[in-house]
């Protein structure tokens, strides 16, 4: 009986964690007409690509490493854990080959900055999207 209760508890927790995952929206300024695929998004956020597919400068901004949105973005888009991202950027900074994206506090700050600057690209929880930004991808 104890085994069945434990198994049921593990199953319920597994389902809850599946549903707890938030949908992430990658957002840009509404004037940005560039079409962009997930590979290009990943390359921009890893510092391997500096422009949108349409040619305009692309400047990524990320959220606090402890935020749920960052965990989801790192996992779903970059296919890396938070510690892998930290290690990746530490190596590039140490060798002088890159500068990590600017870090902001939350979804609201991402939306505020992007709505004022057409060069920026960022991510937010999909439920936080407003008309001030344009969604170019959801994960």
In this structure, of 51-55, 71-75, 101-105, the range with the lowest mean pLDDT score is: 51-55
Query: What number is the average pLDDT over the span 40-69?
Result: 95
How much is the pLDDT for 35?
A: 83
Q: Is the pLDDT of residue 12 over 50?
A: no
Please tell me the distance from the alpha carbon of residue 104 to that of residue 107, in angstroms, as a whole number: 8
Percentage of residues in the chain having pLDDT higher than 90: 81
- pLDDT at 132 (0 to 100): 98
Is CATH 3.40.50.20 what the domain over 22-138 is classified as, yes or no?
no
What's residue 9's pLDDT? 46
List C-alpha distances in Å: 37 to 11, 26, 47, 130: 35, 11, 16, 22
Confidence label for 20 from pLDDT (cuts 50, 70 and 90): low
Provide the token pair at 34. 């560039």
104 forms beta bridges with 63
pLDDT at 10 over 60: no
Compute the average pLDDT of residues 94-117. 97
Residue 81 DSSP label: -
- Mean pLDDT within 63-79: 96
Residues 6 or more apart in contact with residue 113 via CB below 8 angstroms: 61, 104, 120, 122
Average pLDDT rounded to a whole number, residues 62-66: 96
Q: Show me where the domains of the chain are located.
A: 22-138
The reported pLDDT for the residue numbered 1 is 55
- What are the φ/ψ torsions at residue 129 (nearest 5 degrees)? -60, 140
Q: What is the pTM of this model?
A: 0.84
- The answer for residues whose C-beta is within 8 angstroms of residue 116's C-beta and 6 or more apart is none
* Banded pLDDT at 16 (limits 50, 70, 90): very low
DSSP H helical ranges for 1-139: 2-20, 38-45, 68-76, 82-95, 107-116
């Amino acid at each position: 009986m104890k085994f069945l209760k434990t198994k049921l508890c593990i199953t319920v927790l597994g389902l809850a964690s599946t549903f707890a995952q938030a949908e992430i929206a990658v957002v840009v300024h509404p004037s940005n007409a560039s079409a962009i695929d997930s590979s290009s998004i990943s390359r921009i956020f890893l510092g391997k690509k500096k422009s949108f597919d349409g040619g305009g400068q692309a400047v990524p901004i990320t959220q606090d490493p402890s935020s749920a949105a960052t965990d989801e973005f790192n996992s779903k888009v970059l296919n890396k854990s938070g510690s892998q991202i930290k290690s990746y950027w530490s190596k590039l900074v140490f060798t002088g080959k890159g500068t990590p994206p600017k870090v902001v506090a939350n979804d609201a700050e991402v939306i505020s900055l992007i709505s004022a600057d057409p060069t920026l690209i960022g991510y937010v929880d999909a439920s936080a999207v407003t008309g001030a930004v344009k969604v170019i991808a959801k994960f």
